[in-house]
Structure 1
């Protein structure tokens, strides 16, 4: 695998890291890397050792672990915040990667340090205050 190929694959992986909570499909990620969907899936697995879908769901579970341990959110809220569309698929994937259910993980974790209302805004884009921008000029 050439350096150029890895650079293109990393670009798609960076999109998954930055936009993990959004619905990302294989065609869009392949387009970012400049590959067809099947060639992208094959090359991604070759380069990173897992399929794009497995990588994305692992990143989502990693983020969910942090939210379950530190935010005052329900398991269902965490599921939706990190980009899973189904509580069942989230729970199955979480258990497969972590070894326990999301609820059990949350019970074992320290008390939440971040209020749920703040954690819910993390994934939202910031709204620029137009007036504040005008006064800085």
Structure 2
């Protein structure tokens, strides 16, 4: 195997890991789960991921969760605690600290500012039911029906 194909294989593997995180960010993820998705050991994944993306898989997961929380704080009719749990955090304190560190304001202040700007709210019950990404499903059959022909009057 050449050095070029090894580099491509590494990029493919870390991309699989990143895609796995993006699909499952709201679930309790362990580094071993992410590494298994990439087909790497935990330690090799951390090194390869950081070389490719400039941050560890754990930090990427945290940032992804905070980005999703920002989106929900803007548009959902849920309180900060509910959003904290919807995006995968188990501790409100850890969520608030990390959110403030990455965004620059507390989640509560971010939500107040977003709502003051007049963002439309999505009912909380809808977010709780449909807010997590679902696995893609392919249609069983494709229909090719033509629309009914217009009748001249």
Q: TM-score range by the shorter chain?
A: 0.7 to 0.9
Alignment length (residue pairs): 128
Partner of 1:130: none
Does the 8 A contact of 2:14 with 2:38 survive in 1?
A: yes
Change beyond 3 A, Cα 1:47–1:123: same
Per the TM alignment, residue 113 of structure 1 is displaced from its structure 2 partner at its CA by: 1.9
Partner of 1:116: 124
Segments of 5+ residues of structure 2 without an aligned counterpart are: 1-5, 141-153
* Alpha-carbon distance in 1 for matches of 2:14, 2:33: 13
* Alpha-carbon distance in 1 for matches of 2:133, 2:7: 36
* Alpha-carbon distance in 2 for matches of 1:125, 1:49: 28
Higher helix proportion (structure 1 or 2): 1
Matched, 1:26 2:35: no
Alignment RMSD (CA, Å): 1.8
- Deviating beyond 4 angstroms after TM superposition, the runs of 4 or more aligned structure 1 residues are none
> With structure 1 as the length reference, what TM-score do the two structures score?
0.87
Partner of 2:53: 48
Partner of 2:109: 104
Does the 8 A contact of 2:23 with 2:133 survive in 1?
A: no
